[in-house]
Structure 1
Amino acid sequence: MKLFDCIIVDDDEMDRLVILSYAKRFSTLNIVGVFDSAEKALTFLSTNSIDVAFLDIEMNGASGLELRKKALEIPVCVFISSHSESAAETFELQTLDFIVKPFKFPRFEQMMKRLEEFMEVRTKSNLFESTLGGDTVFVKTGHDQIKVKLHEILYLEALKNYTILVTENKRHCVLSNLGEILLEEKFNSFLRVHRSYAVQKQYIQKISSQEIELNNGNFIPVGRSFKGNLDIIL
């Protein structure tokens, strides 16, 4: 996998060092700038392009949110902040992930798996083709088309402008967002339970207030604003 040029922007020196130390553990990250203010980062971005930005929110001067609004061309933005109440606002700015301070390395590692997967999908630019038959969709990869049976899809996972179709044995990445896919009549057996997830109703084994357990043992989080959708099942 190619190197991803990234910057770290945080006005707290200790937090910058923690993020930097975690980022250095991943060979795919090439740290090209570490800044203590949004203004310094914007000056750098005026003459440089990057792939990933790790941003704090509340900083002296301009906030991380203001920085992101002025730099939407950055493919991946990850907010790392103690202000968890701002999470919803960040996702309106094409945010890949939101990490709440303080955090440990496993949480950063989890984010990196998501980041690398997103970049891989973005590079492949797979296309979602229309259904040919009631229970079949096609995923286009390069010049090939892979047939996927709808009833074998356990759940759908959103990844910015892409969606992952997860089956028992494979994950198919398609260039279509989750909301668009769920508008398709053929996907009416899927129930949206989170901003980033929709599950196939027949595979739901157990429901709690915070997560859903599927027949295969996978756990899917339940978003607060989507709990009402579970009334269909209950």
Structure 2
Amino acid sequence: MKSYKCIIIDDDEIDRLTVVSYAKRFSQLNIIGVFENAEDALPLLESNAIDILFLDIDMPVLNGLDFRKKAMQVPVCIYITAHPEHAVESFELDTLDFIVKPIKLDRFTQTMSRIEDYMELKIKAQLFESSIGGDVIYIKEGFTETKVKLHDILYLEALKDYTKIVTSTKKHCVLTSIGNLLKESHFQSFVRIHRSYAIQKQYIDKKMTNEIVLNNGVLLPIGRSYKDNLNF
């Protein structure tokens, strides 16, 4: 299993220790440094190739958003904060995930799954190819091409500049953002329900206030700014 170097920055001691304890449960995480302020972490970026940042936002002197601007070379940034109002601004800084405190182990585990998916995508670097006939796309996987029927796709999941294409039998990965993918004419039947997800309405089994359930049992979140997209 590949190891990822990470640093943890949070000025709240309890929250900082909680993240450390959760991170230690995952053997692929190699904690290089733990800091109570972002300024102290800057020298570490110059001497180490860090893979993952676990960052608080509201910190004195140098906040998490400004620290990220100085550390854009780090491929994965995870914000863990008590201030959900910073979510939109954080995603403009190439953020992979945004966790609202208090952080729970199951939510941290979900984030780790997203990290693993993203790192795998970086390695595969699969490319989105052209469609044929309007209802089929081809996805290049190594030296082979896989044909995927559009009506077999349950949902799309954003992972920074990659997109995961999920069918009932397999997950494919393409090197294009979900926003660019949805601009393609072949994906006009997809509806954005969250910053990270887009679905086809015919696969919705149940719609709740903040979540939808697909007919295969998968539960997906609904973003506040995307709720109007689900008016039937």
Q: Where on the TM-score scale, by shorter chain, does this alignment land: which range?
A: over 0.9
Two-structure CA RMSD over aligned residues (Å): 1.3
Q: Which runs of 4+ in 1 moved over 3 A?
A: none
Q: Which amino acid aligns with 2:207?
A: I
Report the equivalent of 2:179. Answer: 179
Q: What SS class does the counterpart of residue 112 from structure 2 fall into?
A: helix
Q: What SS class does the counterpart of residue 192 from structure 1 fall into?
A: strand
Q: What SS class does the counterpart of residue 92 from structure 2 fall into?
A: helix
Report the equivalent of 2:138. Answer: 138
Q: What SS class does the counterpart of residue 132 from structure 2 fall into?
A: coil
Report the equivalent of 2:218. Answer: 218
Bigger mean CA deviation after superposition, 194-203 or 205-214: 205-214
Partners of 1:122 and 1:102 lie apart in 2 by: 30
Partners of 1:36 and 1:208 lie apart in 2 by: 39
**Alpha-carbon shift at residue 185 of structure 1 (Å):** 0.9
Partners of 1:47 and 1:103 lie apart in 2 by: 30
**Alpha-carbon shift at residue 16 of structure 1 (Å):** 1.8
Report the equivalent of 2:70. Answer: 70
Q: What SS class does the counterpart of residue 34 from structure 2 fall into?
A: strand
CA deviations 1:17-74 (Å, max 9, x no partner) are 2111111111110111111211111121122220001011111211011100111111
CA contact (8 A) 2:80 2:103 kept: no
Q: Which amino acid aligns with 1:10?
A: D
Partners of 1:105 and 1:217 lie apart in 2 by: 22
Report the equivalent of 2:7. Answer: 7
Structure 1 residues 37-116: aligned runs within 5 Å: 37-116=37-116
Q: Which amino acid aligns with 1:50?
A: I
Partners of 2:185 and 2:84 lie apart in 1 by: 36
Q: What SS class does the counterpart of residue 120 from structure 1 fall into?
A: helix
Partners of 2:221 and 2:50 lie apart in 1 by: 31
Partners of 1:181 and 1:38 lie apart in 2 by: 35
Q: What SS class does the counterpart of residue 118 from structure 1 fall into?
A: helix
Q: What SS class does the counterpart of residue 130 from structure 1 fall into?
A: strand
Question: How many residue pairs get matched?
Answer: 232
CA contact (8 A) 2:126 2:173 kept: yes
Partners of 2:204 and 2:17 lie apart in 1 by: 42
Q: What SS class does the counterpart of residue 148 from structure 2 fall into?
A: strand
Partners of 1:57 and 1:76 lie apart in 2 by: 15
Partners of 1:80 and 1:170 lie apart in 2 by: 31
Partners of 2:47 and 2:90 lie apart in 1 by: 25
Identity %: 58
**Alpha-carbon shift at residue 142 of structure 1 (Å):** 1.2
**Alpha-carbon shift at residue 12 of structure 1 (Å):** 2.1
**Alpha-carbon shift at residue 213 of structure 1 (Å):** 2.1
Bigger mean CA deviation after superposition, 204-213 or 184-193: 204-213
Structure 2 unaligned spans of 5+? none
CA contact (8 A) 2:193 2:221 kept: yes
State the TM-score, normalized to the length of structure 2: 0.95
Partners of 1:110 and 1:183 lie apart in 2 by: 28
Report the equivalent of 1:20. Answer: 20
**Alpha-carbon shift at residue 223 of structure 1 (Å):** 1.1
